[in-house]
């Protein structure tokens, strides 16, 4: 009977471990898709903000919705970085439009990359195998 009990316990433990791994993989995949959507939307909205003064509310609302989803499943550093990105975009709409030369200079000096900290926070979260 002890052998049967041990085998049964081993199976339960193995099943729990397998289910935990599947949940973790699913969570990681969901976060990857969420972060990709945020990066894509933020890049498009920031590009618009650089050359327009009229606030693009649809893009900003979409970004806020993505940040709200991050609040459910992401680490605090990722959330904070995302909020900073949205703030930079909002502030950019209030600045004078950039010329092509100014945008080229921003590309050269790296200041156009407002998503760097966000991307690094995401990578660190994945490296730590964050399980939420």
Q: Digits of tens for pLDDT over the chain (132 positions)?
A: 566 666 667 666 665 656 555 555 678 899 999 999 999 999 999 999 999 988 878 899 999 999 999 999 999 999 999 999 999 999 999 999 999 999 999 999 999 999 999 999 999 999 986 554
Kindly tell me the sign of the dihedral angle through the C-alpha atoms of 88, 91, 93, 96: negative
Q: Can you give the pLDDT at residue 47?
A: 95
Q: Can you give the pLDDT at residue 106?
A: 93
User: From the DSSP assignment, how many helices (H) and strands (E) are in the chain?
Assistant: 5, 0
The CA distance from 91 to 35, in Å, is 22
Q: Can you give the pLDDT at residue 14?
A: 64
Question: What is the reported pTM?
Answer: 0.78
Q: What's the burial of 122, exposed, middle or buried (CB within 10 Å: 0-12/13-18/19+)? A: buried
Q: Can you give the pLDDT at residue 24?
A: 59
The CA distance from 80 to 66, in Å, is 13
DSSP 46: H
């Amino acid at each position: 009977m002890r052998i049967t009990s041990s085998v049964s316990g081993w199976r339960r433990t193995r099943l729990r471990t397998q289910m935990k791994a599947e949940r973790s993989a699913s969570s990681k995949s969901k976060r990857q898709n969420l972060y990709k959507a945020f990066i894509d939307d933020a890049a498009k909205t920031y590009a618009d903000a650089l050359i327009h003064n009229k606030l693009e509310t649809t893009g900003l609302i979409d970004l806020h919705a993505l940040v709200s989803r991050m609040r459910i499943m992401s680490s605090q550093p990722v959330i904070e970085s995302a909020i900073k990105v949205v703030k930079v975009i909002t502030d950019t709409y209030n600045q004078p439009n950039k010329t092509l030369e100014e945008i080229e200079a921003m590309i050269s000096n790296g200041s156009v990359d407002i998503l760097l900290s966000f991307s690094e926070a995401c990578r660190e979260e994945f490296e730590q195998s964050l399980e939420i």
